[in-house]
Amino acid sequence: MIQTNNHQLSERLSDFYRFLSGEGGVNTHSRTNYISWLKFLDGQGYELESLQSYDDIDDLLEKEKELQPNRSKYNKTKDLVNFKSALRKFLQFRNSDFAKQQEETILEKIKKVENDTTLSVTERESIVKSRIGQGEFRDKLIKYWNGCSISSFSHFDLLIASHIKPWKDADNEERIDLYNGLLLLPNYDKLFDRGYISFDKNGVVMYSRYLDVEDRKLLGMDNHVHLLKLEDKHKVFLEYHRENCLML
């Protein structure tokens, strides 16, 4: 399940994955391994959020060295080396204040739009409002989908207008593009936004390995979940989401 002994690690998993994808300079295979190793250590009861230095990491690894002979998994010397790499990268992530940097980047991009005199006042307002799923962007999605993009649930006040290619990564045209948006119930929106689900080229749901079968059952989701509409113009944005947002 998503939950771990340390809920803080679970809450930061998506941000750490994004950090590895960008600033961390880590390929997909290594990203997957790093998170798997951290989740294992977290499951052993280590308070990973309390690590402050390389010395703390070394102390943790000394404990692991003593415990290794008593288990069948991660019991080789190379596993300690792998743990060390993952823990150092996690410490780098924590020290980077990644979430704050992301928010500052978004604020800078909002300010850039607000100061862009090549756009009309109405265009600037529409682009900025689309950041929080409001304005013209939301209106267009409601008219197009007429309900949740997955379930058809039509209490619009409960639905969230969500970008497929994230607002911060999109250009101004993409930020208000009807085909770069989904109208989702809050649980679907959070899963999509945090990279726990995406959709394949046929609009069928894809699950992150970090959302296991039990989690899916609790959420009432299975392999038959799919987008109720899919046009070619959606596909380029969905491809971006699969490649850059889904936690594989």
DSSP string computed for the chain = ----SSHHHHHHHHHHHHHHHTTT---HHHHHHHHHHHHHHHHTT--GGG--SHHHHHHHHHHHHHHGGG-SSS-SHHHHHHHHHHHHHHHHHHHHTHHHHHHHHHHHHHHHHHT-TTS-HHHHHHHHHHTTT-HHHHHHHHHHHSS-TTT----GGG-EEEESS-GGGS-HHHHT-GGGEEEE-HHHHHHHHTTSEEE-TTSBEEE-TTS-HHHHHHTT--TT-B-S---HHHHHHHHHHHHHTS--
How far apart are alpha carbons 120 and 114 in whole angstroms?
10
pLDDT band at 248 (very low <50, low <70, confident <90, very high): confident
Average pLDDT, the chain: 91
How is residue 108 written in tokens? 């800078």
Query: Tell me: the pLDDT tens digits for 2-12?
Result: 334 445 677 78
pLDDT band at 106 (very low <50, low <70, confident <90, very high): confident
Give which of 185, 187, 184, 208 is closest to 197, Cα–Cα. Answer: 208
Query: Tell me: the pLDDT tens digits for 107-162?
Result: 999 999 999 999 999 999 999 999 988 999 999 999 999 999 999 999 999 999 99
Domain boundaries of the chain, sorted by first residue:
7-96, 119-244
pLDDT band at 204 (very low <50, low <70, confident <90, very high): very high
Global pTM reads: 0.83
Would you state the torsion angle of the CA atoms of residues 80, 81, 87, 89, taken in this order, to the nearest 10 degrees? -170
Query: Tell me: the pLDDT tens digits for 171-180?
Result: 999 999 999 9
Query: Tell me: the pLDDT tens digits for 27-58?
Result: 888 888 999 999 999 989 999 989 999 999 99
CATH T-level assignment (fold) for domain 7-96 = DNA polymerase; domain 1 (1.10.150)
Pairing type for strands 197-199 and 205-207 reads antiparallel
Angle between helices 28-43 and 7-21 (to 10 degrees): 160
